[in-house]
Amino acid sequence: MSENKTVRIANGQGFWGDSILGPIRLVEEGPLDYLTLDYLAEVTMSIMQKLKGRDPKKGYATDFVSLLDRILPTLVEKDIKVVANAGGVNPSACMEAVLEVMRSHGLEGEKVAIVEGDDILDGLDDLMSNGEEFLNMDTGQPLSTVRERVTSANVYLGAFPIAEALAAGARIVITGRGTDPGLVLGPMIHEFGWKPGDDDLLAAGTVAGHIVECGAQCTGGNYTDWRSVPDLAKVGYPIIEAEADGSFVITKHEGTGGAVNIDTVSHQLAYEMGDPAAYLTPDVIADFTSFKIEQDGPDRVRVSGVKGAPATSLYKVSMSYSDGWKSVGELTVSGPDALEKAQLCAEIVWERLAMDGCEYAEEERLEEYVGAGVCHRGIPEAETDTPPEVVLRMGVKGPDKAKVSRFGPELVPLVTSGPPGVTGFAGGRPKAAEIIGFWPSLVTKDKIQTTVSVLTA
């Protein structure tokens, strides 16, 4: 390993639904060694579990396969490796789909790896009988209170299995649930030979991964001083230039839009942050107060001096469970006195429902007036009594699906039986949809087994 070696790692996907142009342009517009893609969020796992229950070949991010179909020849030509958590709850099915795409491009001989072991849904009862209570990290309640309604359970695995897959020669590494920064840390471990216990180095890779995990959010997207950001339509997605000593530069391809400066990077550093001095991951505890951040030229920010501490003996577990039903709908109310008319519409809906024996507790009702200061309620300049139009958003929730379903049919009739100026009903009646509850918990590491499998196209 060369002490002067620099590895370029880009992240082209901040969430499932991010622009497909992000990864395509990263691959086409400049040099890269690795492309990472982050598809998963807590509720996504539950959705994927349902899809897999209906079809054993589903349960992964199908967008990932479509993306690879477009960029695979370029990946091979430029020798770029891909690390993605697109496997969801069915990494093996995702692998098979990727192998099919590889063969369709005549890329026999290329390797695909999957990391498994994060999905513990089928093993929950055994784990509980062996002493794991899975206490809710927010409420302290044991999982037994909702066990019958659990729909997904996934451990946040670390980065070392990714490094193992890369060491086996995989062009594409597919994981299920893991830490978001781990997608970036894995290639660094592989390239630089970092080991468990190299806490400062692992912490540096974790900080790098955290900065880029939301894609363009560190290169000018979702940025407070948005007027100063040039050409957001062509925003460049972030690239890490990583070095063996743990220092790294955040940048983007030359000629792309967006901005990389201390402020844009600092905005992302504060994202989803609890204790900045103790950012917990399966691989290390990173100290986000320890490092130096400095401008290193146009659209280049250097980070150095990151400190870390040994990881805990626990994994975080993300679980979801069925938590009742909800129904939410919207109508646009326009013209003079729009807010007052919208408020009358809401009164009418609640009264008509009550007339038919359907009443909802205060905590079961949603009533919002978009355009009259909903998003920043309490800020005087964000509120107005005379908006030219408002969007009335109403909804109900509860354990009784039939009662929740009764709400929808009373919203659309306001078009003809309410005040004037009501429109925006083309979507039809809102229907009852299942509420997915989130159950964050912990599990002892030595009770979780991780496997890495590699296949050749």
Beta-carbon neighbour count of residue 446 at 10 Å? 8
Mean pLDDT of 320-341: 95
Examine the domain organization and report whether 275 and 403 are in the same domain: no
Closest CA to 180 of 3, 318, 295: 318
Residues 6 or more apart whose Cβ sits within 8 Å of residue 109: 456, 457
Examine the domain organization and report whether 332 and 272 are in the same domain: no
What pLDDT was estimated at residue 424? 87
The pLDDT > 90 percentage for the chain reads 88
Q: What is the CATH number of the domain that holds 421?
A: 3.30.70
Length of the chain: 457
Examine the domain organization and report whether 270 and 185 are in the same domain: yes
**pTM of this prediction?**
0.92
Answer whether residue 151 is part of any domain. no
What pLDDT was estimated at residue 362? 95
Examine the domain organization and report whether 231 and 356 are in the same domain: no
pLDDT tens for 234-282 read 999 999 999 999 999 999 999 999 999 999 999 999 998 989 999 999 9
What pLDDT was estimated at residue 426? 79
Reduced to 3 states (helix: H, G, I; strand: E, B; else coil), residue 126 is helix
pLDDT tens for 382-430 read 555 688 999 999 999 999 999 999 999 999 999 999 999 999 887 789 9
Examine the domain organization and report whether 382 and 333 are in the same domain: yes
Q: CA dist 367 to 140, 414, 454, Å?
A: 31, 15, 52
Examine the domain organization and report whether 208 and 59 are in the same domain: yes
Report DSSP state, residue 381.
Answer: G
Residues 6 or more apart whose Cβ sits within 8 Å of residue 294: 262, 301, 302
C-beta separation of 160 from 281 below 8 A? no
Distance CA 84, CA 415 (A): 47
Answer whether residue 453 is part of any domain. no
Mean pLDDT of 356-374: 92
Q: CA dist 239 to 31, 250, 443, Å?
A: 10, 6, 33
Q: Which amino acid is at 383?
A: E
Q: How wide is the angle at C-alpha 112 spanned by C-alphas 111 and 117, nearest 5°?
A: 140
What pLDDT was estimated at residue 41? 80
Q: Which amino acid is at 142?
A: P
Examine the domain organization and report whether 306 and 256 are in the same domain: yes
Examine the domain organization and report whether 427 and 389 are in the same domain: yes
Structure tokens at 360: 């909802």
Answer whether residue 137 is part of any domain. no
Examine the domain organization and report whether 347 and 414 are in the same domain: yes
Helix ranges, 170-261 (H): 182-192, 199-212
Answer whether residue 133 is part of any domain. no
Count of helices and strands (H, E) across the chain = 12, 19
Mean pLDDT of 39-49: 83
What pLDDT was estimated at residue 289? 96
Examine the domain organization and report whether 387 and 347 are in the same domain: yes
Structure tokens at 406: 């009764």
Domain boundaries, position 384: 321-438
Residues 6 or more apart whose Cβ sits within 8 Å of residue 410: 349, 352, 353
Answer whether residue 148 is part of any domain. no
Examine the domain organization and report whether 274 and 298 are in the same domain: yes
Answer whether residue 56 is part of any domain. yes
What pLDDT was estimated at residue 3? 63
Mean pLDDT of the chain: 94
Answer whether residue 124 is part of any domain. no
Q: Given 285, 312, 339, which residue is the final one in a domain?
A: 312
Mean pLDDT of 187-208: 98
Helix ranges, 148-307 (H): 160-167, 182-192, 199-212, 262-269
Answer whether residue 269 is part of any domain. yes
- pLDDT tier for residue 44 given thresholds of 50, 70 and 90: confident
Examine the domain organization and report whether 307 and 325 are in the same domain: no
Domains held by the chain: number: 2
Mean pLDDT of 112-138: 96
What pLDDT was estimated at residue 148? 95
